[in-house]
Amino acid sequence: MSESSRVQVLVMLLFVVAVQLLALAVTPAISASDNRVFQDPASTSNPFVYMLLILAFTALLLVAIKKNKGWIVSGFIQLSIAASIYYLMVAFMSPLLALLPTLAVLLLLRYYPEWYIIDAFGIAVCAGISSLFGVSMTPLPALLLLIILAIYDALSVYKTRHMVSLAEGVIKIKAPLLFVVPKSRDYSFRKDPMPVPTQADGNQAGVNPNSKQASGKKGAYFLGLGDAIIPTILVISANTSLPAGGFLGANLPAIGAMLGTYLGFLLLMTTSRDRPQAGLPFLNSGVILGFLAGCALAGIRPF
């Protein structure tokens, strides 16, 4: 790995760190809002409901991409973005007033989708979504969800390869579902024609579109938002469901989960760069092991 690539990997890692720290910071407000994804946070059926929704939405997007119905993909993504921003904003302001920043962000992403705008949006929306799901599940269903998603990610990248097709389709339409790390100072996400790279151009993992991929000497590396959201769900779940304490408002299980996420991320970045790689098996394994280690250190039985 070249020095330039190491810098870009570090930047992507810092995005994940920023998401987790911001998620911890906004969680008290989201908890107080009483907005929940699931009515029963302790139900072990929650991960399976989540998985069914992912399968249904993935199937819809793949059919739309295959039939060149880009407007369906764009419309669905815009609705998802609007809902994510709105639910984050209503934790801090009235429902009516929350419509204003939601509309402002949508217009900004629609008419000026530059890489730094997308990155700032990505950090905020990842923190909000992961916090919302984290307070909606206790550690056991959250852990089950991460295991299921890691298996699904591996199968969808290495076996069926449908997640690779979905990632390529999302990149092609420049959907703001990823972090963008430019390879050069004069790179512009808005002006980049964004040809879908071949496998030899970089390493693409398989969730939402799940990893780093380069296109040309003046291109960029991409990190899917799912790589930041999914592990952070367990971090927030651990911090809200288990005894408080630790450092800067995070208990030992949450801190262990965070450190495990970073280790899993670094291991992911050492994998082969000549074919697509599934990211969640690395990230979710790291966050789960870190969470269990933190529980052991704190003398907490999490289940």
| Residue 211 pLDDT exceeds 50 | no
Question: 127-131, 256-260, 266-270, 275-279: which range is least confident on average?
Answer: 275-279
- Interacting residues of 250 by C-beta distance below 8 A, sequence separation 6+: 24, 239, 258
DSSP-assigned beta bridge partners for residue 222: 180
**Which two structure tokens, joined as six digits, stand for 206?**
């398989």
Q: What is the mean pLDDT of the chain?
A: 84
The residues spanned by each domain of the chain are 3-233
pLDDT band at 194 (very low <50, low <70, confident <90, very high): low
Q: In the prediction, which pLDDT does 204 show?
A: 35
Average pLDDT over residues 192-208: 40
| Residue 206 pLDDT exceeds 60 | no
DSSP-assigned letter for residue 156: I
The pTM of the full predicted model, rounded to 2 decimals, is 0.87
| Residue 173 pLDDT exceeds 80 | no
Question: How far apart are alpha carbons 286 and 240 in whole angstroms?
Answer: 20
Average pLDDT over residues 259-267: 96
Phi, psi of 15 (to 5 degrees): -60, -45
Angle, CA 162 vertex, CA 171 and CA 262 arms, to 5°: 65
Beta strands in 191-299 (DSSP E): 220-224
CB 223 within 8 A of CB 178: yes
Average pLDDT over residues 11-40: 91
pLDDT band at 119 (very low <50, low <70, confident <90, very high): very high
Residue of 110 and 168 predicted with greater confidence: 110
Average pLDDT over residues 46-73: 83
